[in-house]
Amino acid sequence: MGDTKRIVIPYKPRPYQQKLEEGLWGYRFLTAVCHRRFGKTVAAAIWLIKEALAGGSDFRGYYIAPNQKQAKRVVWSYFKTFLANFGNLVGFNETELRIDMPNGGQIFLVGSENVEALRGIYIDASVMDEMASWVNSSYAFYEVLYPAMQDRQGKALIIGTVKGLDMFFDFYKLGQDDQFPEWNSVIFKASETGIFTDDQLRQMRILMERKTPGSFDREMECNFFAKTSEVLITPEEYYQALERKLAPGATRHHPLIYGYDPGYTIDPASLVKRKGPVMFKPIRLKNKDSIYQADFLYEEYLKDKPQFIYIDAGQGEGVITRLRSKGLEHVVIPVWFNGHSPKPSCANKRAYMYLEYKNWLGWGSVPDDDGLLKQSTNQLLDKADTSNRIKLMNKRKIAELIGGSPNDSDSAALTFAGGGIEQLSLENDVRSASSSEEAIQIIMSQMNSEQGYDPNNYLNRES
């Protein structure tokens, strides 16, 4: 029997890179939260290579980045370097970004923008890189990738840096929850890995904080709750309101207000109720038409008798019209998110309502609800307003970040459409109308005079 040539992969892991790989031992899914410059991409590529070499001739591995160009730019050269000693035993298909392994297995580099192409395949092992930046990450994982992993109990290494309370945060929490024994989580902070000296870390903090306050704690110390200037409502503000204990009777003299954001297809409708300093958990309706939604709201009204029901008018005209026909002309108030703001510091009514919501968090109490938390704390600020007013990113960008339209937080914000101390003029006009007919005329005049947005282009609007 002749000598067998030993092929060496030119890689020596740092201690924490080794710990990252060990985090998958005994688990199918690992969420690895890593500080910048940790070397997570290198560690992930090595892990995928090992899985491919240990697999059979029909092994299928995938490295999934936010887009395919990024995958090629970031990791393609690493695979070539680590597999160079295999010579002609390994093939690299530049067009398909496919690696043909010596045992017949294959590794593909793909982007989330083309996730539909992965339907019907099977996945033995995958690296999911920077999922928070994927195109519709929730749909990509739950509707396409997760089913493709079931036939062979495929594994996934989910890597990234902290960007906020997004889907990556959700997966980190799964690994901390005993209800999900297949999941594990690890977190690697720059202050613990020893990759940078103390002096380097000090300099990095000074420079990073000068540009974006909170960015060092978020990106280097992996703090999901770091206070940054990129969002209107910070996780810290929300959690303070979540933990706030109110005195008995704190809501006694406050009216009950409804905020309602209609939903029709993928995104559920959401109803949030608020009584002064207390906000209640969202009630969600999925795949219900406007008649059903209006009748549901009417039944809730009969139980609670709220003072006002603020409804997103852009998609809610059918709901508003039916509720008016049931005699709620003085109660139902249509709201246009990109309508005029009562405060000149806000670019539109959406920014105004969210700012009122933010200010209220300083003394209010919010429910323990993951959806409302994630949506409220991912309202990104748009710095493009030339008048230096508060303006939020359009909804498509936020929906891509959190995996769906922020209907819950929009409903919560709608409870502040009447402001805090001040009230919107429409609300006062409707309340003081001398008859139902007059109230209807006031509301219809408002609906016809303010062009809100095209329901067919809902997520793209600048509101």
Q: How far apart are CA 91 and CA 73, in angstroms?
A: 18
> pLDDT by residue (tens digit) across 226-235?
877 788 998 8
**What's the whole-number mean pLDDT along residues 317-331?**
93
Specify which residues 98 forms β-bridges with. 93, 108
Cα distance between residue 270 and residue 312, in whole Å:
11
- Give the model's pLDDT for residue 116: 87
Strand residue runs (E) in 21-124: 29-34, 60-65, 91-93, 98-100, 106-111
The DSSP bridge pattern shows strands 125-129 and 60-65 to be parallel
**What single-letter amino acid sits at 74?**
V
> Residue 419 pLDDT > 90, yes or no?
no
Average pLDDT over residues 194-215: 90
Question: For all residues of the chain together, what is the average pLDDT?
Answer: 88
Share of the chain above pLDDT 90, in %: 61
State the span(s) of the chain assigned CATH 3.30.420.240: 235-460
Tell me where in the chain the CATH 3.40.50.300 domain(s) lie. 15-188
Fold annotation for 235-460: Nucleotidyltransferase; domain 5 (3.30.420)
Pick the CATH number of 15-188 from 3.40.50.720, 1.10.10.10, 3.30.1330.10, 3.40.50.300: 3.40.50.300
Contact 60, 108 (CB under 8 A): yes
Residues paired with residue 63 on neighbouring β-strands, in sequence order: 109, 127
* pLDDT of amino acid 452: 44
Q: For residue 115, which phi and psi values (nearest 5 degrees)?
A: -65, -25
Percent of the chain with pLDDT over 70: 90
Per-residue pLDDT of 106-146, as tens digits, reads 999 999 988 888 888 999 999 999 987 887 788 889 999 99
Confidence of residue 451 (pLDDT cuts 50, 70, 90): very low
| pLDDT tier at 443, thresholds 50, 70, 90 | low
Closest CA to 60 of 12, 1, 15, 118: 118
DSSP category for residue 63 = E
Q: Model pTM?
A: 0.67
